[in-house]
Chain A
Amino acid sequence: MAKKTTKRSKSSKAKTARAKSSKAKTARAKNSRKRTAKPKGKSSTTKKKSVKKSKKSEESFVIRFVRNFVRRMISNMFAKKKNIKLGIYGPPNAGKTTLANKVCHDWIGEKMGSVSKVPHETRNVNIKEEVTIKYDGKEMGFNIIDTPGIATKIDYEEFMSFKMKNKQAKSRAKEATKGVIEAIKWLDDVDVCLVVLDSTENPYSQVNVTIIGNLAARDIPVLIVANKTDLKKSNIKRVENAFPQYDVVGISADKGKNMEEFYESLFRLI
């Protein structure tokens, strides 16, 4: 019962509020009529004026429209286009930095990072912004993100076999572990990804599977680059068989072999 009474009281309150609002509306309408009403006898002049005004308003509308259109066009022309974040991932010593260097050298005439035979040469994520690549009349801006090689183990003794001192090898190993973590964290911030694999080695490694699985889970488009095709042992078919659902391009980033096809498949991917 108590509930019913509260409902009734609420409905009555609503009715009174509606009545008040309708009264207020009628009062506002009367006032507006009073304001718009003009003295009799001056109707012809007012008509002329109103015609002039309407013409002016039409003109001003057209001018405003044109002005806004031109402004928009100019702002679009000079506005900064959003560059595509192109991540370069893969295991150590696959040729990620060599590929990044080749792309940067081709389009901006600069290098991105140092390259060596010692694994984990790249131990920090390197970014090159605003690299515009042209292919077949199309032009696209990229932010190239070169990442350290992803590995599941890092042994400082391995570096010592490359004539490194104990201390140096240990510090390199420590930096490499941090680099791997940083590279994995960057997976979330990439728009398109190149997975660079060494075509002379077994593509069924868990690191490759993990990288590609993660990119697939994040819905990031992937292009697999089978690098080092200039070497005798290289086998692109093995890479293609390992990842049949992805586009695979065989290149030699070091020798600049088959780069045209690489750019073509990159543009196809985007």
Chain B
Amino acid sequence: MLTLQFIPYSEIENLDSPSRIDKILDVVKQNKIVLMQGRLKPEEETLLIMETMSQIHKSFKGVEICTIYPEEKDLQLFNKFKKEMVKFLIGHRDGVTIVGPSSVVKEIRRNPNKVELFTIPGMASMGSSRKSTVTRKKATKKRTVARKKTTKRRTRGRR
């Protein structure tokens, strides 16, 4: 099961940058994909990267981020002014930010008008208790070794 959690702009409107990032990372660490209304500032994006880097360990290997926002190309002066006024009044609500844990989201491919989200097969359903590929391989090895040992003992016993 893949869980998407929506964070409306009203929830982060009054938060400062570090607490916004903490909020996003808290959700991501629960192996959920965050869909946030609005976009982070460039400084907040770097802060998010720095924070994820400082929190990386065995079970948390990073995030995949993508921001989509309407491009402001060839706007007339009046329209520009109108947009700026709206931004000033209601905040930067334009666009959507997607943040997912790298253990679930393999890649987010963004073309100008399209976003493709590739998940790791079988990982999304495992939730937070999932094991890494290496640990799973090790576990299967151990199991096979144990099986071999038991079969050997049985054969000796029969003899």
* Residues of A bordering B, CB below 8 Å: 150-155, 157, 160, 166, 173, 177-178, 180-181, 184, 187, 202, 204-206, 209-210, 213-214, 216-217
Contacts and interface: CB of A to CB of B under 8 A. Distances in A.
B38 interface: no
Contact of A180 (B53, B63, B108): B53
5 contacts: A152-B64, A152-B65, A154-B53, A204-B109, A206-B66
A139 to B, nearest CB: 34
B102 A153 contact: yes
Contacts of A210: 42, 45-46, 49, 65
A72 B120 CA distance: 67
The 6 residue pairs across chains A and B that have the minimum distance between CB atoms: A153-B62, A153-B102, A213-B42, A177-B53, A214-B42, A210-B45
Contacts of A202: 109
A155 B62 contact: yes
A238 to B, nearest CB: 10
Given A206-B67, A210-B45, 20 more contacts: A152-B62, A153-B52, A153-B63, A154-B53, A154-B61, A155-B62, A160-B134, A177-B54, A177-B56, A180-B50, A180-B53, A184-B46, A204-B111, A204-B112, A205-B110, A206-B65, A206-B110, A210-B46, A213-B45, A217-B41
B155 interface: no
Nearest to A151: B62
Contacts of A152: 49, 52, 62-65, 102
Contacts of B42: 210, 213-214, 216-217
Contacts of A151: 62
Nearest to A242: B112
Contacts, number: 71
A160 B133 CA distance: 11
B116 to A, nearest CB: 10
B43 interface: yes
Contacts of B67: 206, 209
Contact of A184 (B50, B133, B134): B50
B49 A150 contact: yes
B127 to A, nearest CB: 19
Nearest to B61: A155
A173 B25 CA distance: 20
Chain B contact residues, majority secondary structure: mixed
Contacts of A181: 50, 53-54
A233 to B, nearest CB: 16
A74 B80 CA distance: 53
Contacts of A209: 67
B61 A214 contact: no
Contacts of A205: 110
Interface in B109-134: 109-112, 132-134
A206 B53 contact: no
Interface in B43-87: 43, 45-46, 49-50, 52-54, 56, 61-67
Contacts of A180: 49-50, 53
Given A173-B56, A204-B110, A217-B43, A153 B50 contact: no
A184 B51 CA distance: 11
Most buried by B among A166, A205, A206: A206
B49 A157 contact: no
Contact of B49 (A178, A184, A216): A184
Contacts of A184: 46, 49-50
A184 B45 CA distance: 11
Given A204-B110, A206-B67, A209-B67, A155 B102 contact: yes
Nearest to B45: A210
Nearest to B112: A204
A115 B49 CA distance: 24
Contact of A206 (B54, B108, B112, B134): B108
A160 B112 CA distance: 34
Most buried by B among A151, A155, A166, A173: A155
A210 to B, nearest CB: 4
